[in-house]
C-alpha cells in the first residue's frame, strides 16, 4: 500500500473556505492600500472591491442609526447610491427587512412574484433605476445589526451557493472595517489605520441633521418621532426629493409641517432646494 501523499502547497488539499476567506480579506485590504494617500476614497474603494469579488452590478454600505435613521457609508456607483437613498426615503425595502430580521435578504426578481409583492413601491422604483435583483446582508456582531451591505444586479436571478458564501465573507470583512473605525483621534499626527475616521465624521453630520429635522417636525405637527420621520419620508417621495434633502430644508426653515384641522399636513413657506 503506497504511503499517504502530503497535501500540496498550492492549496490542493486546503478546504475551499480556508482558501476563499483569505482571498476576500486580501482583496479588500489591497483596495484600501491603493488609496491610502487619499483616505476619503477608502469607502468607495471597498465598495468597488465588493463588486469585483461578486457577480453583481453595484454595491453600497449603509450605517443604521436606529429609529429609521441611516447614512450611506459608500456606494460603488450612482445607481447604488440612489438605491440606498430610495430605501431610506421609503422606509421599506430589503435593507430594512435585513435589519429587522438580522438575516440576509435575497430579492432575486423585483419585476414580479413574491419579491415585487413584498415591497411593491420599492420594487417599482428600483426597477425604474434598472435594478432587478437586490441582496441585502446585515452588518454587525452578536445579532446586533449596525447597517447593511446591499448588492444589486441589473438582471434578475439569485446568487449561487458559492457566490452567497463569498458575499457573507465580504460582509464579515466590511463589518470588521466598520467596527475598527474610531470617531476621532486625540493626536492629529496619529495615522488612521483604515483612513476612515474623517469620512464617518462627515456622515455623522448628515445623520445629526436628520435627527434635528425630526425634532422640529415633532414640535410643528405634535407627533412622535416615528410619525415625524414618516411625514418627512412622504413629503420626500411626493416631491421627488430624498429624506436628507427634506431634512436640510426643514432645518433651514424653508419647509415646515403644520397640522390642518382634518389632520393633514400643510406645507408653509416655499419648497426647498433639490440639491
- 275: Cβ–Cβ under 8 A, 6 or more apart, which residues? 245, 248
Distance CA 138, CA 171 (A): 8
Cell numbers for 86, please give them: 430610495
Q: Tens of pLDDT along the chain (275 residues)?
A: 444 444 444 434 434 444 578 888 888 888 888 888 887 788 888 899 999 999 999 999 988 765 556 778 889 999 999 999 899 888 899 999 998 888 999 999 999 889 999 999 999 999 999 999 999 999 887 667 788 999 999 999 999 999 999 999 999 888 877 666 544 444 444 443 343 444 444 445 555 677 788 888 888 888 887 788 888 888 887 887 777 788 888 988 899 888 755 545 444 444 444 44
Distance CA 50, CA 166 (A): 10
Count the neighbouring beta carbons within 10 Å of the beta carbon of residue 243. 24
User: Cα 32–51–72 angle (5° rounding)?
Assistant: 70
Domains of the chain by start residue, with CATH: 17-180 (3.30.450.40), 197-268 (1.10.10)
User: Cα 189–191–196 angle (5° rounding)?
Assistant: 125
Distance CA 85, CA 242 (A): 7
Cell numbers for 52, please give them: 469585483
DSSP 49-115: HHHHHTT-SEEEEEEE-STT-EEEEEESSHHHHHHHHHHHHHT-SHHHHHHHHTS-EEE--TTSHHH
pTM value is 0.69
CA atoms within 13 A on the CB side of 111: 12
pLDDT at position 58:
97
pLDDT at position 184:
40
Amino acid at each position: 500500500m503506497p504511503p499517504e501523499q502530503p497535501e500540496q502547497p498550492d492549496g490542493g488539499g486546503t478546504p475551499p473556505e480556508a482558501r476563499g476567506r483569505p482571498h476576500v480579506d486580501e482583496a479588500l485590504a489591497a483596495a484600501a492600500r491603493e488609496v491610502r494617500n487619499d483616505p476619503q476614497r477608502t469607502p468607495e474603494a471597498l465598495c468597488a472591491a465588493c463588486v469585483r469579488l461578486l457577480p453583481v452590478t453595484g454595491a453600497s454600505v449603509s450605517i443604521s442609526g436606529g429609529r429609521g435613521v441611516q447614512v450611506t457609508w459608500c456606494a460603488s456607483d450612482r445607481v447604488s447610491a440612489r438605491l440606498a437613498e430610495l430605501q431610506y426615503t421609503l422606509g421599506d425595502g430589503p435593507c430594512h427587512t435585513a435589519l429587522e430580521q438580522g438575516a440576509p435578504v435575497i430579492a432575486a426578481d423585483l419585476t414580479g412574484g413574491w419579491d415585487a409583492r413584498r415591497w411593491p413601491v420599492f420594487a417599482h422604483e428600483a426597477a425604474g433605476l434598472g435594478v432587478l435583483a437586490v441582496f441585502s446582508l446585515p452588518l454587525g456582531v452578536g445579532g446586533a445589526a449596525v447597517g447593511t451591505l446591499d448588492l444589486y444586479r441589473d438582471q434578475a436571478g439569485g446568487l449561487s451557493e458559492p457566490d452567497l458564501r463569498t458575499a457573507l465573507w465580504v460582509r464579515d470583512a466590511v463589518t470588521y472595517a466598520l467596527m475598527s473605525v474610531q470617531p476621532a483621534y486625540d493626536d492629529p499626527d496619529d495615522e488612521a489605520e483604515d483612513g476612515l475616521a474623517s469620512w464617518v465624521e462627515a456622515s455623522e453630520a448628515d445623520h445629526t441633521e436628520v435627527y434635528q429635522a425630526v425634532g422640529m417636525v415633532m414640535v410643528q405637527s405634535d407627533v412622535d418621532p416615528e410619525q415625524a420621520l414618516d411625514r418627512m419620508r412622504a413629503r420626500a417621495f411626493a416631491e421627488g426629493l430624498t429624506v436628507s434633502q427634506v431634512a436640510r430644508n426643514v432645518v433651514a426653515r424653508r419647509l415646515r409641517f403644520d397640522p390642518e384641522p382634518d389632520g393633514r399636513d400643510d406645507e408653509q413657506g416655499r419648497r426647498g432646494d433639490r440639491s
